[in-house]
Chains A and B, each alone.
Chain A
Amino acid sequence: MKVTMAVNDQEATSEVEPRLLLVHFLRDVLGLTGTHWGCDTSNCGACVVWLDGIPVKSCTTLAAMADGHAVRTVEDLDAGGSLDPVQEGFMQEHGLQCGFCTPGVMMTARWLLDRVPDPDEATIREAISGNLCRCTGYENIVRAIRWAAEHGRTEEMTA
């Protein structure tokens, strides 16, 4: 089947199998390898991207379900040429180690901050509870998101 979607504001059209997962469409068809594949069962969140402005786990979303919709991936976070405050926060607060979970967590964090610009620790922890990280013990991820909240821009980022 043919799918067409806006990926990071660029139109992408491709002939795909109906069963193709969105994560594989992004990675293998479009070459956007920043989105990772970690568990197949929606538990780890390494594959989180935005579908029409809402974070989804692209390992359990079909490419077909994104047909006619807008997808945003980690590659778009610094679209303006400068790092998103979330990216900057992850660097400043050592919010990443191996970097594998990082794109998914950052996409979740950006979504949170667009809705709750000044979240407390408990709100942050709840928001990222669908993203597993094996390296950081979450402490510095929470600090990174707080950093972004304190230094962040305020305009609405949703599609």
Chain B
Amino acid sequence: MTATEAPRTAAGNPLGFGRMLRKEDARFLRGKGKFVDDVNLPGMLHGAVLRSPYAHARIVSIDTGAAEAHPKVKAVITGKMLETRKLAWMPTLSGDVQSVLATDKVRFQGQEVAFVVAEDRYSARDALELIDVEYEPLEAVVDARRALDAGAPLIRDDLLGRTDNRIYDWEAGDRAACDEVFAHAEVVVAEDMIYPRVHPAPLETCGSVASMDNVTGKLTIWTTTQAPHAHRTLYALMTGLPEHKIQVISPDIGGGFGNKVGIYPGYICSVVASIVTGVPVKWVEDRSENLMSTSFARDYHMHGEIAATRAGQILGLRVTVLADHGAFNGVAQPTKFPAGFFHIFTGSYDFPAAYCQVTAVYSNKAPGGVAYACSFRITEAVYLVERMVNCLAFELQIDPAELRMKNLLRPEQFPYTTPTGWEYDSGDYPRALEEAMRIAGYDELRREQAERRARAAAGGPGPAEPRMGIGLSFFTEGAGAGPRKHMDIMGLGMADACELRVHPTGTAQLRLSVQTQGQGHETTFAQIVAHELGIPPEEVEVLHGDTDNTPFGLGTYGSRSTAVSGAATAVAARRVRDKARIIAAAALECSADDLEWELGRWQVKGDREHGQTIQEIALAAHGSLELPEGVEGHLDASVVYNPPNLTFPFGAYICVVDVDPDTGVVKVRRFIAVDDCGPRINPMIVEGQVHGGLADGVGMALMEVIAFDEAGNNLGGSFMDYLLPTSMECPSWELGETVTPSPHHPIGVKGVGESATVGSPAAVVNAVLDALQIRHADMPLTPAAVWRAIEGRPFRTDLAIV
């Protein structure tokens, strides 16, 4: 089931899989995209949020009088006002509650306190300055490692009976069996590491335009959401508005990366404001608001231990995690998995034993946790295991490539069940690693490194030569959540859907429950239909992002779209094809059994002269042709796809860096990425997805962090402080591929959206540490962090530097 080159349509597009230019580009290139902030309605007002300057403080009083007196202000909403509508608090995606507008306390810097509605954006902002809030500052919990100390400030005193900041303890794996392995292992290596708090930072911030029609009772909300249907249901549950009267429209989305999965207080406030004022209300956050208050990612403090033989046979992996969830437990993940999919932490290796224990705590920081292309925390898991394998290689003085090759799962072990219960569908890991090493010229790189080290050891005049490092990582991703039996978000099963309609003239429309944020669904999904039905992709219109016009589903995150709605699309197209066969048989006056499918037409077996194209069949399906008993007219199908398992994409990455030992500056010289995501529907789009994730890896490994000072001030609240990689920090990516189809997906594809973000950070970190010949230092490896690591005085990257 590998992707073979499809024939080309008259327009030059593949009649199925293959490189195809994107349909959506036409509008974006001309500045005609329609993003939420581009929505302007007659009479529309503008909202702005007043935010807490403190990380932890009691609210003594809020005086909105002066703001209300501002001539352009139409309403000021506070938590007290929301309380009368039972909307001061809202449910989170993890069974907790979260403040919409603070009533009792503020629990993180940037928390929402009041909402002003005014005639224009600037006046709304002006009026924020007129609101007088008296705070009584409280001691803040900034360091997750102190959150459970006796006497630590209690953050969630709003929750009845709560006496500490512990959210949950959770475990996976067989502890006793794992302890037994460790007790008898020849080698045990332990390391502490932080996956620091980062932020997805899509270039478009979050926002909404709410329009309540007080006559019809219909609420329309244009909003930045990766999951429009789930949001519709949640709005209904939260506000009490009937779900059939709520329309969620997510128009073009300027990047999501998990930042646009949750429902934020600003959205709720815009809805309430529209109800109160009777006109549409727009709220769009600025960059600081985005970075300080919407879903962060990671913030895992991990202690890993790896057991092995002296010869480098790995035996066991044991991990304890302290997870900082911020002030409200708002992680977006399947209900049964409070630590997401972190327990996939044995990664790509044949570990006989594994055990992890996760403790989550509240802190005085923004809520979130599962975001930034993390595939439900597989990023943290891959980082942990890939760092631990490198730590083992460091201790045993074995080449990290050799150690990996020795312990990777072998092709004949698939389907493979991990020690913590995941069933990997398919893979050929050694082949992918060999391919990456071939592209990199691995042996030659090691030779160059040895020569440089020899020169450095010999010493000499002048500034030191850059130190060269080579880092590897091998990742196994898990994409396409459910099945719905095991996976739900707030009780909504993780299945996704599509509706396919073939029109009388043979063109088609495909309606999806998932929502693109730049992944190119309008093109890729049309290609799936073309592949299955032979309708040219330019004649398949893909519709999404409008709950009134698309079927229900859980949306796009966790690399779910192609894995789930893509499967739904293939199944729907096959149903259409089956029906087309019956209609063709009626038209040809033969038995359906006598027909064979050739892309785009049903024809009499062995007789090319007698057949019907899908377009002819479509016309007949809507015409006066008499159809067999029980066969309805028209040519369409709708499918809800409940995935039997995740798909498991994988890949081998190699990063080459040069580190200036005098300044600590890291230059990424090369990055080689071999990805296996099954057959590639549109290789151009797949490569683009990988490129973006690799840049994320460079960013997280070298510069991105949301740190806090001792008072709980957010030190990453703008793009001047929260650094993202530019074209200067990114090398020209070198990609390769292997193709191992998923046996359980209708077209074998596995999904790729988050693979590179999951896999790449460890490769960069491993490369920098290889250059420094240091076992471990934490991300981000900024010049300061590298320099201090060289000095033997590493610092906590998640706190203010002291």
Contacts and interface: CB of A to CB of B under 8 A. Distances in A.
Interface stretch (B18-26, B177-185, B475-483): B18-26
A134 B255 contact: yes
Interface string A40-58: 1101101000000000000
Interface string B200-219: 01111100000000000000
A103 interface: yes
Interface in A100-140: 100-103, 106, 121, 124-126, 128-140
A96 B23 CA distance: 12
Contacts of B724: 132, 134
B243 interface: no
Given A101-B203, A135-B255, A19 B29 contact: no
A74 B31 contact: yes
Nearest to B24: A99
Contacts of B288: 40
Which residue, A28, A39, A92, A101, has most C-beta atoms of chain B within 10 A? A39
A140 B733 CA distance: 10
B616 interface: no
A38 B694 CA distance: 22
Contact of B28 (A40, A96, A136, A139): A96
A124 B349 CA distance: 41
Contacts of B770: none
A98 B254 contact: yes
Contacts of B519: 97
Nearest to B39: A33
B692 A35 contact: no
B454 interface: no
Contacts of B25: 90-91, 96, 99
A129 B21 CA distance: 26
A34 B31 contact: yes
B471 to A, nearest CB: 17
Chief secondary structure at chain A's binding surface: loop
B688 A38 contact: no
Contacts of B695: 134, 136-138
Given A34-B31, A138-B727, A98 B202 contact: yes
A38 B31 contact: no
Interface residues of B, number: 55
Contacts of B718: 39-41, 43
Contact of B203 (A19, A98, A126): A98
Contacts of A136: 688, 691-692, 695
A157 interface: no
B38 interface: yes
A20 B122 contact: yes
A134 B257 contact: yes
A142 B518 contact: no
B541 interface: no
B22 A128 contact: no
A94 B733 CA distance: 15
Contacts of B205: 38
Contacts of A75: 30-31
B254 to A, nearest CB: 3
A3 interface: no
B112 interface: no
A33 to B, nearest CB: 4
Given A98-B202, A98-B517, A134-B201, A39 B719 contact: yes
Contacts of A141: 727
A8 B720 CA distance: 31
A124 B684 CA distance: 21
Contacts of A73: 31
Contact of B35 (A83, A100, A126): A100
Interface in A16-73: 17, 19-20, 24, 27-28, 31-41, 43-44, 46, 73
Nearest to B25: A91
A80 B40 CA distance: 28
B719 A129 contact: no
A100 B688 contact: no
B732 interface: yes
Contact of B202 (A40, A121, A124, A134): A134
Contacts of B685: 94
A103 B691 contact: no
Given A92-B21, A94-B688, A140-B688, A128 B518 contact: no
A11 interface: no
Contact of A97 (B121, B520, B720, B730): B520
Interface in B650-698: 684-685, 687-688, 691-695
Contact of A133 (B22, B30, B31, B203): B203
Q: How large is the interface on A (under 10, 10 to 19, 20 to 34, 35 or more residues)?
A: 35 or more
A151 to B, nearest CB: 15
A31 B37 CA distance: 11
A141 to B, nearest CB: 7
Contacts of A35: 31
A78 interface: yes
Given A36-B204, A40-B288, A74-B31, A99 B727 contact: no
Contacts of B278: none
A38 B122 contact: no
A98 B204 contact: yes
B84 interface: no
A20 B120 CA distance: 11
A27 B38 CA distance: 8
Contacts of B27: 99
B775 interface: no
A28 B123 CA distance: 14
A126 B727 CA distance: 7
Contacts of B687: 94
A33 B31 contact: yes
B691 A137 contact: yes
A136 B690 CA distance: 8
A47 to B, nearest CB: 11
Interface string B701-743: 0000000000000000011100010111010110000000000
Contact of A98 (B21, B121, B253): B253
B514 to A, nearest CB: 15
Contacts of A142: 727, 732
Contact of A44 (B32, B719, B730): B719
Contacts of A28: 40, 120-121
A99 B694 contact: no
B80 interface: no
B726 A129 contact: yes
B245 interface: no
B38 A33 contact: yes
A18 to B, nearest CB: 11
B522 to A, nearest CB: 12
B21 A99 contact: no
A132 B727 CA distance: 8
Contact of A140 (B253, B691, B720): B691
Nearest to B723: A43
B593 to A, nearest CB: 44
Nearest to B290: A39
A112 B35 CA distance: 27
Most chain B CB atoms below 10 A, which of A19, A101, A139: A139
Contacts of B255: 97-98, 100, 134-135
A35 B254 CA distance: 13
Interface string B98-133: 000000000000000000000011100000000000
Q: Which 4 pairs from chain A and chain B are nearest by CB? A: A34-B31, A98-B518, A99-B28, A100-B254
Interface of B: 21-22, 24-33, 35, 37-38, 40, 120-122, 201-205, 252-255, 257, 286-288, 517-520, 684-685, 687-688, 691-695, 718-720, 724, 726-728, 730, 732-733
Given A20-B122, A100-B204, A136-B688, 9 more contacts: A38-B204, A40-B718, A44-B719, A77-B31, A100-B203, A125-B728, A129-B728, A137-B695, A139-B730
20 contacts: A24-B121, A32-B31, A43-B719, A75-B30, A87-B30, A91-B22, A91-B26, A94-B22, A97-B519, A97-B688, A98-B252, A99-B25, A102-B29, A106-B29, A129-B726, A132-B726, A137-B691, A137-B695, A139-B730, A141-B727
